[in-house]
Structure 1
Amino acid sequence: MDVNDFDFNLPEELIAQTPLLDRTASRLLILDKETGAMQDSAFTEIINELRSGDCLVLNDTRVMPARLYGVKEDTKAKIEVLLLKQLDDDKWETLVKPGKRVKVGTTIFFGDGLLTATCVGEAEHGGRILKMTYEGIFHEVLDELGEMPLPPYIKEQLDDQERYQTVFAKNRGSAAAPTAGLHFTTDLLEQIQQKGVHVAFITLHVGLGTFRPVNVESIEEHEMHSEFYQMSEGTSRLLNEVRGNGGKIIAVGTTSARTLETIMNENGAFCEASGWTSIFIYPGYTYKGVDGLLTNFHLPKSTLVMLVSALAGRENILQAYQHAIDRKYRFFSFGDAMFIR
C-alpha cells in the first residue's frame, strides 16, 4: 500500500495554533464507519452518541516538560533536546538538534549546570542516549528547566501549559499529549457517567512515533517506535464486562486504540498488562478491542490517518477529511474532533 494513498491537501490556515477557551467548544464530525454518512455536530453532543452500558476509554498519561535547551560544554553551541523515553540509571532516549554536533562523549549543560547530559550512545532513527547528572529529584529539575513539547506545526506560545494536558492526566511520562482527550472537562465526564456510560483509564506514554513521518513509499516497510503502555486489572475487568453485556468500547484517541488492540492481540481478551508496543495499524487490520473511536484530525500521510482508515475505510476517511476542510474544521492537536461510530 502506497503512502501517497493517504495524502490530502490541507490549507495551512486550518491548523489550529491555540486551544479554545472552553475545552468542550470544539466542533464534532460524526462518521458512520459502515455507510460513510457524515453529520456536523458540536463536541458536547458526544454524550448523545454514547449509550448506557458503553465504555469510554481514556489515556491518563501526563506530558513531561520534555524539551530542554542547553549548550555544549566545549563550544557553547546551542543544543535542543527532546526527552522521549527513560531507560535506566538516569539514561534517556532523546531527539537532539542539531544531532551532528552531539557525538558519544559530548556533554551538554542546562540551566548553568543545574543539569548536565553526556551522550553515551546512539539510538534508532537518529536519536541519542543521554546520561543525566543532577542533584535532587530529576522531575523537579525538569519542571524548572523544561518546556512543554508542543508539535512543530504549532507556532504560537502556550500561555497556560495545562491546556496541553488532559484534565485527567496523571501518569507522567509522555512526550506529547493524547490530544483527543483535550476536549473533555470534568463536568462533561460526570454527565457522561450519569447517563450510565462507564469511564475507564489506560496509560500509553506517547514517544517518537508521534514525531516521525513515514519516509517509505510502501507503508508495510514503515517501523513504529515502541511506546510504554499499561492497563490495570480493574480496567480490564470492566472492559470484559462491558463487552460481555453487549456494550460498545469507545477509544478516546489513537493512543487508547493502540493500547486496547495491543492487549487484545497478545491475550485474546482484556487483562492486566504492561509493556512496550510498536503496533502499526493500517487498512487490512481487523479491530478486536475497539468499537468506536473519538479522535482529532491528523496529518496527511501519517500513521494516524492510516489507523483511522483501518477502522472506517480509506475512502470514507478521505471524504470525511475533505468535508472537514470544505467546512473549515480546525485540524491537529488543538483542533476539532471526529467520532467514528
Structure 2
Amino acid sequence: MNVNDYFYELPEELIAQVPLKTRSDSKLLVLNKLNGEIKHKKFTDIIDYLHKGDVLVVNDTSVIPARLYGVKEETKALIEVLLLSQIEGDVWEALVKKAKKIKVGTIISFGEGVLKAKCTKVLNDGLRHFEMIYKGVFYEVLGSLGEMPLPPYIHEKLEDQNRYQTVYNRVKGSAAAPTAGLHFTKDLLKKIEDKGVILTSVTLHVGLGTFRPVQVEKIEDHEMHSEFYMMSKKTADILNDAKQENRRIIAVGTTSLRTLETIMTEQKTFKEISAFSQIFIYPGYEFKAIDALITNFHLPKSTLLMLVSALSSKEIIFNAYKEAIKNNYRFFSFGDSMFISNE
C-alpha cells in the first residue's frame, strides 16, 4: 500500500485553531462502518449511541508542559527540546531541533540553570536521551519552565491550558493530548454512567508513535515509535467480563484503541500490565479488542487515518471525511468528532 493513497485535500480554514467555548458543543459524525451510512449529530448525542452494559475506555494520560527552550552551555546557541517519554528515572527521550549540535555529553540549560539536560545517547531523526538535572520535584520545575506542546498546525495561543487536557486526565507523561477525549464534560460522563455504561481507563503516554509523519512510500515499511502504556487489574477484569458476555468495548480515541489492541494481540487476554507499544494498525488488520471508536478527524497520510480506515474501509472513511468537509466540520486536535460502529 502506498502512503499517497491516504492523502486528501482539506481547506485550511477547517483546521480548528482554538477549542469551542464548551467542550461538548462539537459536532458528531456517526458512521456505520459496515455500510457507510452517515448521520450528523451533536457530541452530546453520543449518549443515544451508547447502550447499557457497554464499556467505554478512556486514556487518562495527562499532558505535561513538554516543550522547553534553552541554551547550549558551551556556545549559548538556542535549542528547542520536546520531551517525549521517560525512559528510566531522570532519563528522558526527547526530540531536538538543531539536533546535529547535540552530542553525547552536551549540556542544555533551561531557566538560567534551574533545569539542565545532559545528552547521554544520540539516536536517529533528531532524537536524543537526556539525563535531567534539577533540584526539587521534576514536574514542578518543568511546570515553571515548559510550554504545552500544541501541534504545529495550531497557530493561535491557547488561553486556557486545561483545554488541552481531558477532564479525566490523571497520569502525567504525555507530549500530546488524547484529543478524542477533549469533547467530554464531567456532566456528560455522569449521564453516560447513569445510563448503565461502564467507564474505565487505560494509560498511554502519547509520544512520537502517535503523531510522527509517515516518511516512507510503502506503508508497510513505516516503523512506529514505542509509547508507554499501562492497564490496571480492575480495568482488565471489566474488559474480560465484557468480552465473555459479548458486550461492546468502545475506545475513546486511537490511543485507547492501540493500547487495547496491543494487549489483546500480545497477551491474548486483558491483564494488568505496563509495557511499550509499537503497534501499527492499517487496512488488513484484524481487530481483537474493540467494537467501536470515538475519534477526531486525522491528518492526511497519517498513521491514524490508516488506523480508522482499517476499522471500516478506506472508501467508507474517505467518503465520511468528504461529507465532513462539505458540512464544515472542524478538523484535528480541537476539531469535531466521529463515532464509528457497526450500527
TM range (shorter): over 0.9
* Structure 1 stretch displaced more, 74-83 or 327-336: 74-83
CA distance in structure 2 between the partners assigned to 1:120 and 1:35 by the alignment: 52
* AA in 1 matched with 2:301: K
* Structure 1 stretch displaced more, 311-320 or 95-104: 95-104
Query: Partner of 2:188: helix, strand, or coil?
Result: helix
Equivalent pair of 1:85/1:173 in contact (CA under 8 Å): yes
CA distance in structure 1 between the partners assigned to 2:109 and 2:268 by the alignment: 48
Query: Partner of 1:335: helix, strand, or coil?
Result: coil
1:199 aligns with 2:196: no
Gaps of 5+ in 1: none
**For residue 337 of structure 1, what is the aligned residue in structure 2?**
337
Query: Partner of 2:144: helix, strand, or coil?
Result: helix
Shift of 1:144: 0.7
Shift of 1:142: 0.4
**For residue 137 of structure 2, what is the aligned residue in structure 1?**
137
Shift of 1:89: 4.2
Question: Superposition pairs for residues 270-309 of structure 1, below 5 Å?
Answer: 270-309=270-309
Q: Report sequence identity in percent.
A: 62
1:268 aligns with 2:268: yes
Q: Deviations over 1:94-130 (max 9, x none)?
A: 0111212222222111001101112121124330111
Could you list the structure 1 runs, at least 4 aligned residues long, displaced by more than 6 angstroms after superposition: none
**For residue 243 of structure 2, what is the aligned residue in structure 1?**
243
Query: Partner of 2:149: helix, strand, or coil?
Result: coil
Normalised to the residue count of structure 1, the TM-score between the two structures is 0.98
**For residue 226 of structure 1, what is the aligned residue in structure 2?**
226
* AA in 2 matched with 1:240: N
CA distance in structure 2 between the partners assigned to 1:236 and 1:120 by the alignment: 37
Query: Partner of 1:87: helix, strand, or coil?
Result: strand
Normalised to the residue count of structure 2, the TM-score between the two structures is 0.98
**For residue 311 of structure 2, what is the aligned residue in structure 1?**
311
Equivalent pair of 2:97/2:126 in contact (CA under 8 Å): no
CA distance in structure 1 between the partners assigned to 2:211 and 2:263 by the alignment: 24
Equivalent pair of 1:181/1:252 in contact (CA under 8 Å): yes
Q: Deviations over 1:301-332 (max 9, x none)?
A: 00000000000111000110111111110000
Question: Alignment RMSD, CA only?
Answer: 0.9
Equivalent pair of 1:93/1:123 in contact (CA under 8 Å): no
CA distance in structure 2 between the partners assigned to 1:88 and 1:245 by the alignment: 39
* AA in 1 matched with 2:35: T
Shift of 1:38: 0.6
* AA in 2 matched with 1:277: S
Matched length: 341
CA distance in structure 2 between the partners assigned to 1:89 and 1:21 by the alignment: 38
CA distance in structure 1 between the partners assigned to 2:53 and 2:32 by the alignment: 20
CA distance in structure 1 between the partners assigned to 2:253 and 2:288 by the alignment: 16
Question: Superposition pairs for residues 59-138 of structure 1, below 5 Å?
Answer: 59-138=59-138
Question: Superposition pairs for residues 148-159 of structure 1, below 5 Å?
Answer: 148-159=148-159
* AA in 2 matched with 1:31: L
Query: Partner of 1:201: helix, strand, or coil?
Result: strand
CA distance in structure 1 between the partners assigned to 2:127 and 2:263 by the alignment: 28
Equivalent pair of 1:86/1:93 in contact (CA under 8 Å): yes
* AA in 2 matched with 1:222: H
